[in-house]
Structures are given as structure tokens and as C-alpha cells.
Amino acid sequence: MSERAVHKGIAVCPGVAIGPIWVIDGGLTNPPRLRVGEARIEGEVERVFDAMESARSKLEEAKASLHETHGEIYGQLLDAQLLMYGDAMLRSGVESKIRDLRMAGEWAVRATIDELKAPLLSADSRYFRERAEDIELVGRQILRELGGGAIRLPPKDAEVIVVASVLSPADAAELRDSSVLGIATESGSATSHTAILARALGLPAVVAAHGIAHRAEAKRIAIVDAIRGEVVIEPDEAEREDAERRAERYRQYSLGLKARRDAPVVTLDGHPVEIYANVELSFEVDRVVKQRAHGVGLFRTEFLYLNRLKPPTEEEQLEVYRRTIERLEGRPITFRTFDLGADKMPRFERGIPKPSVSFGRTGLRYALSARRLFRTQLRALLRAATHGPMSVMFPAVAGVDDLRAALTELASVREELRHEGLPFGEPPIGCMIELPSAALRSHRLAEHADFFSVGTNDLVQHTLAVDRNDPFATGYASPLEPAVLDLLQMSVASASARGIPISICGDMASDPVALPLVLGLGFSQLSAPIAMLPMVQETVRRVALEDCKALARDAMAAASASAVRALVREAFGEALGELWAEHGAFD
């Protein structure tokens, strides 16, 4: 019987769930270490190669399903895995272990996969560590076929906690309409594909819960606490009762917020605030409409470029953008041009420029260095602008020269489309404030941009010299740090002086403690993850803007993030205490 275990991780979609565990591919981590006799070697090699072909064929079917449901560009998310089935190192590695070491097929596959993953897992780059997820998925697909293709996903009506090493796009597509209660994965980071897919499902989810795939056993009980960022396996009776109470309380709390989604999003003293959604996948747009969001404030287009060998074509992108715009039923959307590099590395074939793993050739700088890639996207975006209200913004702008260069490229693309006789729109063009240099020179950037959007995740990271995905640095990455508040205030002042809109689309826009400060600093357009929209809307309704402004003035004079946090608690504890409690803000 399993013993009680607590696995700390990263909460990526809020909520609390408790239920029996359903392990995806649970028996594939450590298959039996069996040997085969001389007479069985040829048959064993053939059995493994047949399993590889069967797994590849099923992955092709999953790709076709994603293509049919969400468009060709999403089906291509599986291309990288499909390519691995023809990889000589995989096939020869398995074959040599069977022939030379007489390993049984399952053991040979597991050993080869672990060997291929090892150098990637030990790399400093998050990109290489996340590539190990692709190798692991391929190994598990083959092992599943060797085991007879046993059911790995729960039945549609099963109310269970899904535990997996990784969550693939195919898994996410199949779980969309299920009765799954929560998700816990072994791998992932706050920005990994696993986290993005978990958020898209809208279920309580914790990723990077290291060791959980090895410890979890089917039918045992688990608590997914996506408020505290932990998963408890085989909790004691008191923990179960507490989790059930908290899960029900959070459910009732969420239902109460959703019941008010049609209420005006206006502060107590009558100031309207526009609430937008952050989106990574086009099928999330239906939830944006359902939640009564004002529109999409950030559509992260880089997801279209990841896990594929060739960049998306102009027509492929146009189809995704057009479909997304039309599904919003007239609500505005802001597309961010691809923000690749660092922890979002594409897997393009040779000959296509790649961004840098560390800072430098990333974001807009990478786009400007990969002109063909950039121009293809700009063409698709301008053509999509004929289908509804939309804007375009550039990521990681360091200064005026960056922005001018991007605008020059855009003007050239317009002329190109005009010459070809293709219809295109003239969407507003914005600049993201994500780097301290951009905030410090925002008054100059405002002369060239139609709007600003502040990405607080990167702004905090670069201002405070922390990696937000590093668990050690979590306590240092506070958006309440006065240095960060100074940069936000500068950006708001620059936008106001120039008369252009400014919004905020980073995690600070959905932080229940930081929100009064955000409003007090002058932001009236907020963009947040879909799952957090009800909380953001309700926070706005419970505060007065004048009180928020008074808080902001006091915070700007504070000496530290802890002092600012204390000011917020004192000023809004009565009005927002319930919301803070549900989100574990002061736990």
C-alpha cells in the first residue's frame, strides 16, 4: 500500500481536487528486466519494430484528429515526436541491446530512452530539458504498444485525478470533454507545453511535482492543491476532510463568481475596467466568450512555432488567426508576434535561423534577425485584420531602434501586399514593456506606438535578476518590489502623456494582492489567464479606485516588497479578505 507523500510543484490552474488516481502509462516507467534466449532474439527485434510502427501509426491518427478539430497547425505539434520514430539512434540503440545484451523488448526500449534523455536532462538550458519530454513520450508510446495497447486515458465519465509524467497535445485533446477532476504531472515548468495544455483544460493542475509518476498508484487517493502548489498522495483522514471542504468551498466560490459574470466590471466609485484574457490555443476562445471577457489581450502566437520542424506557413497562420477572430464574435484581440528563445525554443530544421537559449537573440531581436520568418507572420496578421477587430504587438522591445526596425519591416510588408493585390487591414501596433530599458525610455517609445502592454513576468525577472521558473528564486520574484512599481509608474505616465492606451498582461494582473496596486497605478485594462478572470472581475467590483490610488502613493514610498505587502493587507483586508483566503494569498 502507498504511504502518504507530499509532492511540491507549480500550480498552473487554480482550485482543489480530491479523488482516486488514474495513472497515464503508469507501468511504463520501470518495466521488468527480463532476458531473452538466443532463439528469440530475431522475434524480439521484430516485435519491438512492429510496436514502433503501430505507435507511429496511432500518433499519425492523433495528429489527424487535432488537425480536424483545431486546424492543421495544431496537428503539426506532433511532428517532432513523429520524426523520432525514424531516428537511427533510437532504433539501433534498442536493437543492439536486444542482440548484444539479450534484453527483452520493454527493457531495451526503456534503457535506450533513458540514455537518450540523460544528456538533455543534465543540460543547463530549460529548452533541452523540455526536449527530454518528447523522447519520454515516444518511449511510452512504444512501451504501450508492446504491452498490448492498454487503456491509458480514463473513461469520459470517470471522476479521477490524472497523474502523468508528461501531458501531450494528444492527451489534452482527449481530456477536454471528460469528467477528470484534476491533473498532476512529473515534468513541466510555469511556461512549458505541459503547463499551457493543463491551463487550457481549466482544471486544478500542478506541474513539476517531481517523483509523483513513480509514487502514484492507480485507485489510491490524491489531493491536487493548485492553491498551495502541492499534490498529496494517500492523505490521512483529516487531510481528506479538509481537502473536501476546501474543494467544495472553492467550487461554491467559483460558482458565485461565475454567477456574477454579467455584472458590470466597475469599481465601487464608478470607474469601469476592461478585463481581457490571455490565450495560447485557439480552442480556449470559447471560454473567453463564456466568461464575458472584453476580448483577448494577449494571444501568444509562439505556440504555433513550437514542436515542429518547419515554421507555419502564411496560409496556416492566416487560418488560425481568422478562425480565432471569428470565434470571438466581434470582441477585440491582440496578437503578439512570436516571442521565441530562452525557454521557448523552436525545433526548426537546419537552414532556419534559431534564437538563443540565453538572453540576447530572443523576442523581437530574434524576429528582426529572422526576417523571412517575421515577414511571413506579419503578412498573415495584416491579412487577418480584414476579418475583425484586432491589434498586433511586438515582444521584448529594448528601445526605440528595435521598435523602429519592426515598424519599417511592417511598412515594407504592407507595400508588398498592396503590390500583390491582396486585401489587408491596418491594425493598431503596440509595444510590450517587458524590459527595464523599455520602461525607462517609454516616453520615447510612446512616440511610435499606438498602445503599450506591460508584461510583468519578464519585467520582474529582468529588474530583479531572477529566473521565475527557478524554485529557489520564487521568493525573490515579487511584483510588489518598489523598483518594479517605479517602472510601472513610468510606463503609465508615458502612455498618459502621449494619450495612448496601456494595459497589463502579466501575472500581476491576476495576483489578488497586487491588483489594487495595479488599479491605483493607473491601469484600466487588464489581461489575465482565463481561469483567473472571475476573480479579477470580482476584485475590481470590491474596491474603490480612489482607495487604490492612495495605496499606490503609499507603496511608492515604501522601502521593500514586504512593506508594500503589509500596506495592501492593511488597506484592503476587509474588502478582499475572502478572495485572498480562497487563493491562499497570505498562507
Please identify every residue annotated as catalytic. Answer: 193, 505
Residue with the three cell numbers 534503457: 111
> Do 207 and 188 touch, CB atoms closer than 8 A?
yes
Alpha helices in 421-560 (DSSP H): 436-440, 442-445, 456-464, 482-498, 515-520, 533-541, 545-556
Q: Is 574 exposed, middle or buried (0-12, 13-18, 19+ CB in 10 A)?
A: exposed
Identify whether the C-beta of residue 445 lies closer than 8 Å to the C-beta of residue 466.
Answer: no
Locus of grid cell 497562420: 317
Separate counts of helices (H) and strands (E) for the chain: 23, 16
Q: Centre a 10 Å sphere on the Cβ of residue 421 and count the other Cβ atoms it contains.
A: 6
Write out the H or E segment, with its range, that includes residue 249.
Answer: helix 237-259
* Neighbouring C-beta atoms of residue 473, cutoff 10 Å: 14
Pairwise CA distance, residues 427 & 211, whole Å: 47
> Residue 543: which residues within 8 A CB-CB, separation 6 or more?
267, 268, 515, 516, 519, 572, 575, 576
Q: Are 583 and 535 in contact (CB under 8 A)?
A: yes
Nearest-10 Cα torsion for 94, 96, 101, 104:
30
Cα atoms in the Cβ-side hemisphere of radius 13 Å centred on 536: 34
The rounded distance, in Å, linking the Cα atoms of 469 and 473 is: 8
Cβ neighbours around 161 below 10 Å, total? 27
Which CA distances in Å does 78 have to 88, 289, 297? 19, 28, 28
Rounded Cα gap, residues 511 and 462, in angstroms: 19
* Length reported for the chain: 587
Neighbours of 33 (CB within 10 A): 11
Q: Give the C-alpha separation, 248 to 252, whole Å.
A: 6
